[in-house]
Structure 1
Amino acid sequence: MADVRVLKFDVGSSTDVALQRLKNRFDASTSSEAMRRSLAIADTVTELSAKGERIFVRDINGEIRELLIGAQ
């Protein structure tokens, strides 16, 4: 089993609402699972951005736009 560290912190109501929304979107069984998945995504996109790579999304109408990550 991987090394585990317990973290405890307070969140405001808007952060709690966002975490619950992510939990539902990920179909995660716990808030901790939703947080881990969210951190993994954030880590990946900020690493790519730091390397100078660009990240794009395509909406349901086929429009493509660039996501600006971090300090631009």
Structure 2
Amino acid sequence: MRLVALMVGLGLLLAALALSWLAAMGTPLSPHLVIALSVMIVAVMGLSGALMALLFHSSRKGIDDDAGTSG
């Protein structure tokens, strides 16, 4: 769960950086753009964290040890 929280926090930081960069480039920041960009970045980072947590859990429990072996 800590990994997911870390990834969501990183997503918030990246969203702030992306919005700052867009503002510095002179892009008009409509509320729809800000909301869509923020939600998309945080959702992708949260999903990435959740999938990595599942991968680490699977590896720790040995669930994937028999994958690829016949018999």
Please give the range of the TM-score, normalised by the shorter of the 2 chains: 0.3 to 0.5
Larger Rg: 2
Structure number with the higher helix fraction is 2
Structure number with the higher strand fraction is 1
